[in-house]
Amino acid sequence: PEPTGAEPLRERIAAELLAARERTAALTDCVDDRDLTAQHSPLMSPLVWDLAHIGNQEELWLLRNVGGREAMHPEIDPLYDAFEHPRAKRPALPLLAPAEARAYSYEVRGRVLDLLAASPLEGAPLLDGGFAFGMIAQHEQQHDETMLITHQLRQGPAALTAPPPPALDPDPLPAEVLVPAGPFTMGTDTEPWSLDNERPAHRVDLPAFRLDTTPVSNAAYQEFIADGGYRDPRWWTAEGWTHRQRAGLGAPLFWHRDGGQWLRRRFGVTEPVPGDEPVLHVCWYEADAYARWAGRRLPTEAEWEKAARHDPATGRSRRFPWGDAEPTPELANLGQRHLQPAPVGSYPAGRSPYGARQLIGDVWEWTASDFRPYPGFGAWPYREYSEVFFGPEYKVLRGGSFAVAPVACRGTFRNWDYPIRRQIFSGFRTAASVEEA
Ligand code: AVJ
Ligand code: FE
């Protein structure tokens, strides 16, 4: 028989917590203790920090704030507060050893499952719709993506493997789709596990624009390189050009030239750059320069969301490009099922009403927009999730990558990072304004 009342929600929460923990285990059980405690890049925490931070946030939000329990080990809280110590300094902290970090995170989880079984899922803002539990499942999955980035930066033979995405042979597609002028609803009031920066829903009126049907491919990006795009300051903003020179940028991160061809290192394996895959590991400055070279520009965040969610037939905004149903493997490349994006033009069933492909999954897409609050924003449940990052120094990325779990991905989800970042699973597509007659 079908479960009734709060039971389906409780089961969904338990399943999402379990899925996150299975992924955390896969990312941390495949390497030895030396690898777990090593600093693979000054840009990243040691993996063992993420492991205990996941448990610490779960203890803080679920056991202490929801459950009213005492702190289990108050002395470790400052070690796992992301604002206390920069990532590069974390290896030198007296962190829990791998076995202790695992034991702590699993002990927290056991108590959380007891709490979940006994807890009402309404009657307080943190409980309504299971919000705090959903937030913690998303938090763990977000750190799983961070740990996957650490794996990509790690030297040495592959610790992780996965099959390539299905070899689809897509029909030829138009290069771009047209999104006519008009208002749409951006953000959400109804997504139960949406995070504060996705709220509230509000109307945004946009002029007509064209958007690339797919993310920019490696083949297209190689034309920019071959045309001297990295050597021509016309294509770069002043800040971007300064950064390009200082950082010595000449190709996406993890690429190198071997004789006549471009190779890339991907999770410990070196292989020729596949021309039909979305370009990956570019920073905002590179994406912006490519767009200018192509006679185009990056889409604004609002344009991206309208192309991904607006249904012109009903005037409604959808949860996903394909509709309101949860993602499946036929709709989008999500959840680390594969360790790379699928060829551009894949996932026809996941297209948006305007015909754009792969807006969800594959690669995070840089937008032109700074990370700013929506009108009527209120920080919830803590200022340090979003509010302290609002401002001109962060650019918004949309859509999620192959490394994003479905629970942490939807048409309203907003990610952000510095415009110099490229170890993240970042790509982009371009847009153009439409001259009105
Ligand atoms: C939303 C991905 C930028 O990883 O820094 C994790 C998510 N916040 N722990 C990050 C997050 C607190 C955040 N991003
Ligand atoms: Fe965190």
Cα 79 to Cα 162: distance, rounded to the nearest angstrom:
33
Q: What is the pLDDT of residue 2?
A: 43
Whether the CB of 146 sits within 6 Å of ligand 1: yes
| Separation between Cα atoms, residue 428 and residue 167, nearest integer Å | 22
Residues in the chain with pLDDT < 70? Answer: 1-4, 169-170, 436-437
Looking at residue 172, its pLDDT comes to 87
Per-residue confidence (pLDDT) for residue 3, from 0 to 100: 47
* Terminal C-alpha separation, the chain: 60
Q: Within 10 A of 380 (CB to CB), how many other CB atoms are there? A: 17
CB of 416 within 6 A of ligand 1: the answer is yes
pLDDT at 171: 77
Whether 57 is in the pocket of ligand 1, judged by its Cβ within 6 Å, is: no
Residue ranges for the known binding site are 53, 87-90, 139, 143, 417, 421
Q: What is the pLDDT of residues 192-205, one digit of tens each?
A: 999 999 999 999 99
The protein residue whose alpha carbon is closest to atom 13 in ligand 1 is: 142
Q: Residue whose CA is closest, atom 10 of ligand 1?
A: 142
Ligand 1 geometric centre to CA of 196 (Å) = 13
The whole-model pTM stands at: 0.97
Ligand 1 atom nearest to CA at 415: 1
Indicate if ligand 1 lies below 6 Å from the C-beta of 285. no
